[in-house]
Structure 1
Amino acid sequence: MINTIQGIVDAAKGGASGVIAVAAAHDEPVIEAVVAARREGIATPILVGHADEIRRMLREQHEDPDAYQIVPADSDTDCAAQAVSLCAQGKANFLMKGILGTADLMRAVFNKEQGLRTSHLTTHCMFYEIPALGKMLILTDGGVNTFPDLEKKAEILENAAAVLQALGYTSINAACICGAEQVNPKVQSTVDADALTKMTDRWAKYNMQVCGPVALDLAVSKEACKHKHFTAPGAGDADILLVPNYEVGNGIGKAASLFGGAKNAGIILGAKVPIVLVSRSDSAESKLASIAAGSVLAQRMHLA
């Protein structure tokens, strides 16, 4: 079972090197990340974008541009289309966002004729390894689905469970994060959380227990559960935190990194290939871990 960020990186190094198509790769932090991934044997990049700039940036990283496959593309739309096409043709098995808008990339991903659309909901999974907890967990969805309804929340949970299953988890605990543990008809998130706990047949294939509504402390702290006399399946030991909306997810994730010293990696699922989105503010370690997660999941998951 892979249950640490370093474990994800090590698995990527130890497996078959994935091929990553990078859309709009003409960006120094992106080039630094993919060069590091190539050097570590984590991924083989295909760089789509402004060819002259990409070659210059590679030379600045003391790399030979001729050792890389570079696909010239001018506009953001063209960069996205060509990178997505490489994945659709099977020439790359995962995708990375470079210096272009997320909307431009996802528009190409969702193109009905040439894109990577599937019947699954596209969702964002962030891995956080938090020292205070002594474990890694998935926070979802803090980036793609802004205010999901009940059915979308169920699909978000399933995507996260499938990720952990691919990493070797044989049992999974998920917690539906709310402000309190009581179901309140006036607070939709608590109503949805209660409904999700009752979908036991849906979770059986993942051997997953879902508890909720539950506050964050009771989701991750056995001591808090003991102190508050709270019991529920998997309470205090969550592997997945399902948030009610992206604002909660973004806030918990930023706090984990900025205040909690968490290591992290992020991936988008639901397309035919995993999609890596890295931020300029991400650490070099986080960028590398995100690429590693894409490589590992591309090898282990059947996403079409």
Structure 2
Amino acid sequence: MTDKLLRNFDDILDAVKNKSPKRVAVAAAQDDAVLEAVQGAHKQKLADFTLVGDIDKIKATADKLGVTLNDVQMIHEPDDRKAAYRAVALVSSGEADVLMKGLINTADFLRAVLDKEIGLRTGRVLSHIAVYQLPGFDRLIMITDGGMNIAPTLQQKADIIQNSVQLANVLGIKPAKIAILAAVEVVNPDMPATLEAAALAKMAERGQIKGAIVDGPLALDNAISMEAAQHKGINSPVAGMADILVTPDIEAGNMLGKSLVYIANGKIAGLILGAAKPVVVTSRADTYEAKIMSIALGALLG
């Protein structure tokens, strides 16, 4: 955890470089995009790596890409599912600090994460959080959950919020200001998202969600624009200043997040939270920089 408020991706990179290096265990590491990111992160001294997978394929892929894997530890396990369990075991035993997905089906990868014996269960739901550096903003904005939970229940949303607070605190955001998004900023019995937003705000007020100021329902403009909030006469400690945006469902989170990248030219990094240690799962569509920043986020939290 840092006492300094990290406002952009350069701040995150500097904070990681100033820490003792964390070790990232990569499951089924014979993936071209992952190996390029591993080399880049290792060169920038963001983390050390243990690659678990088919060593012959890892080396062949690295040679094809011109990737140098000197000083990178490798463990031979040609079976992808077994590689996932080996990588998870490294993290759960303390031999590694962060888990990363390679060339393996996400369901098989998460099955290992949630294994009752060697997995990384905490009792909380797993959730995805995306961190954005956006033009025109002097702070990082986070969105959850656009990648894991399809239609989270009220209790799952409480877990999702608690997961996000953990990352916010590591970024120096204390307390985190969390907006529960809906289409409107008033409670409407015909709109379930507004009812859940009001319940979550009350849960935080009564200490059922800790370390954050939670308010909702808030429409997107009221959550991030002080001018919009003042224009609508909204009196809230979160309105216009939200650090974390909690979306009603996966569709809203996914579309909002992608619009920030592809329309607003935002930069993204992401993690899966709720496990005992951070989990890096990057998309094939993510840029090289997004993969590097996701590793950096994991190393900061690990």
TM-score, normalized by length of structure 2?
0.94
Which range moved further: 84-93 or 50-59?
50-59
How far apart, in 1, do the equivalents of 2:114 and 2:140 lie?
Answer: 31
Which residue in the other structure is 2:52 paired with? 48
Which residue in the other structure is 1:231 paired with? 235
Which residue in the other structure is 2:257 paired with? 253
Q: 1:204 to 1:29 in 2, by over 3 A?
A: closer
Indicate which of 269, 276, 280 corresponds to 2:280.
276
Map Cα deviations across residues 45-100 of structure 1 (whole Å, 9 max, x no partner).
11111211211233345555453211112222112111111112211111001111
Describe the SS at the equivalent of 2:34: helix
Which residue in the other structure is 2:133 paired with? 129
8 A contact 1:43–1:295 mirrored in 2: yes
Which residue in the other structure is 1:73 paired with? 77
8 A contact 1:25–1:54 mirrored in 2: yes
* 1:201 aligns to 2:197 (yes or no): no
Map Cα deviations across residues 258-283 of structure 1 (whole Å, 9 max, x no partner).
01111111011111110001111111
Which residue in the other structure is 1:103 paired with? 107
Map Cα deviations across residues 105-128 of structure 1 (whole Å, 9 max, x no partner).
110011111211112221111101
* 1:90 aligns to 2:94 (yes or no): yes
Which range moved further: 124-133 or 19-28?
124-133
**Unmatched tracts of structure 2, length 5 or more:** none
How far apart, in 2, do the equivalents of 1:227 and 1:138 lie?
Answer: 24
Indicate which of 157, 170, 192 corresponds to 2:161.
157
Deviation at 1:158, TM superposition (A): 1.1
Map Cα deviations across residues 102-160 of structure 1 (whole Å, 9 max, x no partner).
11111001111121111222111110111133321110111111111111111111111
**Unmatched tracts of structure 1, length 5 or more:** 299-304
8 A contact 2:41–2:47 mirrored in 1: yes
8 A contact 1:190–1:212 mirrored in 2: yes
8 A contact 1:96–1:276 mirrored in 2: yes
Which residue in the other structure is 1:7 paired with? 11
Describe the SS at the equivalent of 1:241: strand
* 1:57 aligns to 2:61 (yes or no): yes
How far apart, in 2, do the equivalents of 1:216 and 1:12 lie?
Answer: 31
Indicate which of 25, 36, 41 corresponds to 1:37.
41
Indicate which of 96, 115, 122 corresponds to 2:119.
115
Q: Which residue identity lines up with residue 287 of structure 1 in the other structure?
A: K
**Count of residue pairs the alignment pairs up:** 297
8 A contact 1:124–1:267 mirrored in 2: yes
Deviation at 1:203, TM superposition (A): 6.6
How far apart, in 2, do the equivalents of 1:96 and 1:64 lie?
Answer: 19
Map Cα deviations across residues 162-207 of structure 1 (whole Å, 9 max, x no partner).
211122222321100001112122221110001111121327741x
8 A contact 1:118–1:270 mirrored in 2: yes
